[in-house]
């Protein structure tokens, strides 16, 4: 089946491709699209566009996706560094690796899964892969694909195919990544809906005009026209006179709320904290705090937050990508694809040096292993000769 036909069908799921007939689950793609961009939880629904309009949500998403996109990927076999190949340098000829990674991570975070459609292979046939291993791939939009499983739980391989744009294809034609959860738009729908409500409420309060003062009638009751004339004359008098004389009325200045009150800063701060927790991002990294108020960062807290961020927020995404790209149908057995996370984990160089020095002194690791941890090439080598570090 031609991959161009599949991509065309994926872009328009309601139109079935013109390739050979395939087993299709009725309306599975259409139903997936109908519910994909709207996550429900207890009556709350939030789309991706709405969620990205929340500053804290956009900050967390961009922070994780941007961090991973900056990391280089390496292909290795044991201690040998191999030529990376197009699949991990520029899988899609139409876009950059960074952009493709960011959107793939977006799919993993928001929907819990992502998929690439293989569009070119190396031609070296194997028993499992008649056309060889993938060398080019293109991201499939969320909702345009879905896994097809066997009804028998006892089957050795329950994944029988991948449905793309209404056509079922063999699983090895796609590279699938799983986040291990149903996606933030679904399990975080209540928190996101509350944050959106707060943003809307703050906008309505700020847009409302508050009176600068109130005239209170203490004499005979005035009609609507007389009251309006009195107010207008008082306004004109204020423009020309510094002292006012009032008879039968009194003037009161209302307790105007502060900017913090008008913007509902405390409640929105708590909402930002909850969103950071959904992403496992340390709250300080987006200007939030456990109490909902802003927090200041010191040198030590920056290092601690960065280490926790890489381990808790970035680590699971990297593992999902590495495991998806290292499957036997994607990468030859014995080879491994990893992200270069050493620089991000070694946020405190002095502590890293002290740590590795003690390990070498006690015979736990070799100097070459210490060099690898520190990102320093082995003596006489231009590249590291040990397996790249992984999360």
Strands 44-46 vs 73-77: parallel, antiparallel or unpaired: unpaired
Smallest CA-to-CA distance from 70 within 62, 79, 60 is with: 62
Whole-prediction pTM value?
0.71
Give the pLDDT of residue 6: 74
DSSP 3-state helix, strand, coil percentages of the chain (rounded to 5)? 45, 15, 40
Please give the pLDDT value at position 177.
96
Tell me the CA distances in angstroms from 34 to 15, 31, 37, 39, 192, one per residue in order: 15, 5, 7, 10, 20
- H or E segment to which residue 232 belongs: helix 224-240
Sheet of 73-77: strands edge to edge?
A: 80-82, 73-77, 336-339
- Whole-number pLDDT of residue 259: 52
Q: Are strands 249-252 and 145-149 parallel, antiparallel or unpaired?
A: unpaired
- Cα–Cα distances (Å) from 190 to 28, 35, 53, 209, 238, in that order, read 26, 16, 16, 31, 49
- Label residue 376 exposed, middle or buried (CB < 10 Å: 0-12, 13-18, 19+): middle
Which pLDDT score, from 0 to 100, does residue 349 have? 64
- pLDDT at position 87, please? 93
pLDDT per residue, tens digit, the chain (391 aa), is 577 777 777 776 443 333 333 333 434 443 443 444 444 334 446 899 999 999 999 999 999 999 999 888 889 988 788 999 999 999 999 999 999 999 999 999 999 999 999 999 998 888 888 889 999 999 999 989 999 999 888 888 889 999 998 899 999 999 999 999 999 999 999 999 988 888 887 776 666 656 667 878 887 888 888 888 888 888 888 778 777 777 788 877 766 555 555 556 777 788 888 999 999 998 888 876 655 454 554 445 566 677 788 888 999 999 999 999 999 999 998 999 998 776 565 555 666 777 788 888 988 888 888 877 776 766 555 554 455 554 4
- Residue 299, judged by CB atoms within 10 A of its CB (0-12, 13-18, 19+), counts as exposed
Q: Hey, is 186 helix, strand or coil?
A: helix
Tokens of 146: 């879905």
> Using an 8 Å Cβ cutoff, are 283 and 59 in contact?
no
Q: What is the pLDDT of residue 207?
A: 65
- The residues, any chain, with a CB within 8 Å of residue 79's CB and separated by 6 or more, are 385, 386, 387
> Comparing C-alpha atoms, which of 316, 32, 320, 331 is closest to residue 177?
320
Q: Measured between alpha carbons, how far is 48 from 52 in angstroms, rounded to an integer?
A: 6
Task: Please count the residues of the chain.
Answer: 391
Q: In this structure, are residues 128 and 5 in contact, taking their beta carbons and an 8 Å threshold?
A: no
Contact between residue 281 and residue 309 where contact means Cβ atoms under 8 Å apart: yes
């Amino acid at each position: 089946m031609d991959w161009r036909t599949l991509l065309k069908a994926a872009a328009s799921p309601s139109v079935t491709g013109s390739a050979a007939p395939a087993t299709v689950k009725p309306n599975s793609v259409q139903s997936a699209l109908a519910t994909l961009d709207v996550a429900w939880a207890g009556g709350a629904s939030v789309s991706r566009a709405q969620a990205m309009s929340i500053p804290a949500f956009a900050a967390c998403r961009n922070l994780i996706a941007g961090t991973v996109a900056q990391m280089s990927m390496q292909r290795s076999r044991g201690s040998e560094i191999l030529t990376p190949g197009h699949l991990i340098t520029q899988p899609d000829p139409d876009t950059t690796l960074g952009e493709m990674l960011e959107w793939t991570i977006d799919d993993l975070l928001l929907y819990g899964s992502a998929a690439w459609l293989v569009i070119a292979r190396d031609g070296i046939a194997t028993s499992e892969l008649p056309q060889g291993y993938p060398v080019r791939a293109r991201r499939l939009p969320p909702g345009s694909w879905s896994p097809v499983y066997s009804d028998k739980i006892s089957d050795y391989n329950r994944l029988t195919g991948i449905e793309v744009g209404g056509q079922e294809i063999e699983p090895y034609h796609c590279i699938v990544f799983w986040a291990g959860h149903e996606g933030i738009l679904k399990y975080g729908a209540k928190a996101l809906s509350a944050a959106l409500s707060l943003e809307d409420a703050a906008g309505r309060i700020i847009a409302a005009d508050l009176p600068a003062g109130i005239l209170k009638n203490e004499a005979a009751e005035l009609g609507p026209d007389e009251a309006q004339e009195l107010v207008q004359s008082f306004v004109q008098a204020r423009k020309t006179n510094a002292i006012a004389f009032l008879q039968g009325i009194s003037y009161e200045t209302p307790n105007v709320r502060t900017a913090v009150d008008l913007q509902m800063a405390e409640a929105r701060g708590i909402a930002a904290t909850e969103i950071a927790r959904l992403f496992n991002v340390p709250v300080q990294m987006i200007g939030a705090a456990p109490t909902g108020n802003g927090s200041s960062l010191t040198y030590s807290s920056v290092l601690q937050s960065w280490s926790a961020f890489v381990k808790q927020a970035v680590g699971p995404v990297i593992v999902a990508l590495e495991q998806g790209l290292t499957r036997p149908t994607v990468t030859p057995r014995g080879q491994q694809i990893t992200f270069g996370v050493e620089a991000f984990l070694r946020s405190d160089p002095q502590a890293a040096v002290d740590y590795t020095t003690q390990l070498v002194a006690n015979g736990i690791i070799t100097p070459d292993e210490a060099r690898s941890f520190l990102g320093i090439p082995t003596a006489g080598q231009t590249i590291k000769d040990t397996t790249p570090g992984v999360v």
